[in-house]
Amino acid sequence: MIKKEYIRSVLNIFASSPFKPLVMHANKGGDCVRKLNESLLAFCDGDMEKVEALNHEIDVIEHEADVIKQTIRSELSSSIMLPVHVIDLLNFLKPQDSISDDAQEVSFWLTVRKFEAPDDIRDGFRELMAKTLETVELYEDLVSTLGELLETSFSKRDVEDTLHLVVKVEEMEHQVDVIEKDLTKMIFRNEDTIGALGVYHLARLVRSIGDIADKSEHAADRLRTMILRR
């Protein structure tokens, strides 16, 4: 029932603007990461019951994102006219879809083991997650400009504003990368306290959270290509 309702909803929106479903899809990714932020904070506080509950919520949102993605792809295979190249749009959609996928993966890995590490590592995770969420939400702002670009027929000023946001997403992802590397080193320095299995679990979480920001940067780069090649 949910899938049929979503397909109908996306099709109706697609009829009015080919870019609005892309914004819907980006926002689903953002919703996943916002829920993941809640889950990470609960994980750091030792509230595994909340972590489990949020994991289920993220699964639902990720499925909704998949339905939107599948509907967009099916519509693009028809004779619909677009102001950009279809292949560029699909190349942009793929890394954007990975944002919700990666958030779902991190959410699952939060459920498999309790957090047991020094407070400085706990603080590092909070900082990493906060900066990753900030990156994703800036990326959402970027994607939201697609509708404005369409309405103004890609005016030079609006294109420049959008491309400026792409650069800001790239800068934000770099900040996440720096935090990710520092936190990984901190985890390995505390192997005697955390244990080998704990190091593996936490290091994997760090890498996977960083991947979310990386996918946002990748999608932003593909969006830039899509706009410049139109």
* pLDDT tens track for 116-150: 999 999 999 999 999 999 999 999 999 999 878 87
DSSP at 19: S
Residue type, 108: F
Two tokens, residue 220: 């932003």
pLDDT given for residue 12 in this prediction = 57
Only one residue has tokens 């404005």, namely 148
Single-letter amino acid code for the residue at 117? A
**206-228 pLDDT per residue, tens:** 999 999 999 999 999 999 999 99
pLDDT of 146: 86
Q: What is the pLDDT of residue 10?
A: 52
Helix (H, G, I), strand (E, B) or coil at 199: helix
Question: What whole-number distance in Å separates Cα of residue 88 and Cα of residue 141?
Answer: 20
Instruction: Look at the chain and report how many structural domains it folds into.
Output: 1
pLDDT at 88: 92
What CA–CA distances, in Å, run from 15 to 26, 75, 81? 18, 10, 11
Q: Find out whether 121 and 190 touch, Cβ atoms under 8 Å.
A: yes
Q: Kindly report the length of the chain.
A: 230
What local confidence, expressed as pLDDT, does residue 154 receive?
85
Confidence (pTM): 0.91
**Residue 206 is part of a domain; what is its CATH number?**
1.20.58.220
Q: Which two tokens stand for residue 24?
A: 């819907």
Alpha helix segments (H runs only) across 45-155: 48-76, 86-111, 119-151
pLDDT of residue 147: 78
Handedness of CA 180, 139, 90, 15 (dihedral sign): positive
Rounded CA separation 190/211 (Å): 23
Interhelix angle for 2-16 vs 48-76, to 10°?
50
Find, among 111, 116, 106, 108, the residue nearest to 180 by Cα: 106
In DSSP notation, 59-87 reads: HHHHHHHHHHHHHHHHHHTTT---SS-HH
Find the domain containing 20 and state its range.
2-228
pLDDT at 2: 53
225 vs 217: CA distance, rounded Å? 13
**pLDDT less than 50: residues of the chain:** 1
